[in-house]
Amino acid sequence: MRIAEIHLTPVAIPDKPLLNCKGVHQPYALRTIIEVICDDGTTGLGESYGSIKALEGLRRAAPALRGLDPFHLHELKSRVAAALPEGGGINARTAVADHKLTDVVTSAFEVPCMDIQGKMLGRSVGDLLGGAVRETVPFSAYLFFKFGAHIGQDKDEWGEVLTPDQMVREAKKMVADHGFKSLKVKGGVLHPDLEIETMFKLREAFPHHPLRIDPNGGWTVETAIYVARRLEGVLEYLEDPVAGMDAMAQVAAATSIPLATNMVVLEFDQIAEAFTKRAVKVVLSDHHYWGGMRASTHLGKVCEVLDMGISMHSNSHLGITLAAMVHVASATPNLGYDCDTHYPWVGADVVEGAPFVFRDGALAVPRGPGLGVTLDRIRLAELAALYEVAGVRERDDTLYMKQFDPGYERRVPRW
């Protein structure tokens, strides 16, 4: 069996005006839906970024994969590397971190290949990753400060969230809707004292929920140490308080709160430095940029050996990505934290039915075969049509923020 055809469909998904230290989410987030079709008709599904560089990389690598055996994942990696010799990073200037094009493209095609393998064998992707060690995967509520509405639109169902009390209200709704058992706040948005107050108010409202805050490197070392000291005993972990490995090491040395990251450890080459400098205690995996689902479970092993924890990162995404995340999480024995997901913010999908309903904050591992999700062609066509009219081709939270506040400048660290 060989790969015969590959279809790449960029889609736009409606998003909410969620705030972070670089600005605000645009009305649409971009993704690419990947279909890999073998000569016997077996089809594998994948989902990756929808930015210009990612899409271009996928388009350039796809022809090189024709004729590939979908079980030959090492060869997949070599063919991608050969098709994209200049490599490079894929992210826009305003992104929080840069990811290697070759890792992103390899991963984007590894997922459909493993979906195909599972379909051929009648086994789930989790089984191919070593077997699920848990039947359900717990997620945390991903809480954002936010504007009440996009420019020119009516207020959304979440309303404005710009104060600690409004954040507690948002958290209550998230928990009531999905049953999450831990809470993550996207910080770096309000003055640090207000974000500290937010965490205290969340602690009061949710005495037993582990709490995290992630300002995406938006604080200075001084601010981060101040915040960490105030929040000792309150946080489960503090994610990327500052930008850069040395700055993380300085903060880590000043607090007993474990520091987590998806910004200073993004690839295997960076783990040794983080370990030596004691900069990070928890690494967030993400199969989209760690080089695939298998690489993500390998990351779990590396973290175990180094006595680091492992958690899981997210960006705005659809159900194919979520299926892959759940399979990876199910087959990462030492995953010790509830995973991140933006899924509750995204009111759309390209998969059939509603396979992902959170119960007590957790998702059941799809049974497969393969990823265990089916493409809904009508939904795909709708989101592909939206991409054509959305007028967004690159994520730029800072540019969009300037429409709300013309004086806004991108500043990292901001506080």
Residues with catalytic function = 186, 313
At its nearest, how many Å lie between ligand GKR and the CB of residue 260? Answer: 9
What would the x/- binding string for ligand GKR be over residues 321 to 360, using CB under 6 A?
Answer: -------------------x--------------------
Is there binding between residue 146 and ligand GKR (CB under 6 A)? no
At its nearest, how many Å lie between ligand GKR and the CB of residue 315? Answer: 5
Cα separation values, 307 from 132, 191, 193, 331, 379, Å: 22, 34, 32, 18, 43
> Which of 182, 198, 216, 398: binder of ligand GKR (CB under 6 A)?
216
At its nearest, how many Å lie between Mg ion and the CB of residue 375? Answer: 29
**Cα Rg, the chain, nearest whole Å:** 20
Closest residue by Cα to residue 265 from 308, 227, 205: 308
How many other CB atoms are found less than 10 A from the CB of residue 406? 7
Is there binding between residue 198 and ligand GKR (CB under 6 A)? no
Instruction: State how far the Cα of 271 lies from the Cα of 283, in Å rounded to an integer.
Output: 9
> Cis bond leading into 413, ω under 30°?
yes
What letter represents residue 139's amino acid? F
What residues from 295 to 314 belong to the interface with ligand GKR (CB under 6 A)?
313-314
Closest residue by Cα to residue 171 from 137, 146, 138, 191: 146
At its nearest, how many Å lie between Mg ion and the CB of residue 135? Answer: 27
Closest residue by Cα to residue 15 from 189, 214, 149: 149
What 3-state class would DSSP assign to 125?
Answer: helix
What would the x/- binding string for ligand GKR be over residues 261 to 300, using CB under 6 A?
Answer: -x--------------------------------------
Pairing relation of β-strands 183-186 and 141-144?
parallel
Report whether 105 contacts 51 (CB < 8 A): no
C-beta closer to ligand GKR: residue 61 or 390: 390
Is there binding between residue 262 and Mg ion (CB under 5 A)? yes
List, as one string, the DSSP characters of 308-348: -EEEE---S--HHHHHHHHHHHHT-TTB-SPBP--GGG---
Instruction: State how far the Cα of 140 lies from the Cα of 381, in Å rounded to an integer.
Output: 31
At its nearest, how many Å lie between ligand GKR and the CB of residue 343? Answer: 12
> Which of 214, 286, 338, 396: binder of Mg ion (CB under 5 A)?
214
DSSP 406: T
Instruction: State how far the Cα of 260 lies from the Cα of 224, in Å rounded to an integer.
Output: 13
C-beta closer to Mg ion: residue 113 or 282: 282
C-beta closer to ligand GKR: residue 124 or 285: 285
Is there binding between residue 311 and Mg ion (CB under 5 A)? no
At its nearest, how many Å lie between ligand GKR and the CB of residue 33? Answer: 20
C-beta closer to Mg ion: residue 236 or 239: 239
> Which of 76, 96, 108, 247: binder of ligand GKR (CB under 6 A)?
96
> Which of 186, 288, 379, 414: binder of ligand GKR (CB under 6 A)?
186
Binding site for Mg ion (CB under 5 A): 214, 239, 262
Question: What is the contact surface with ligand GKR in residues (CB under 6 A)?
Answer: 18, 20, 96, 186, 214, 216, 262, 313-315, 340
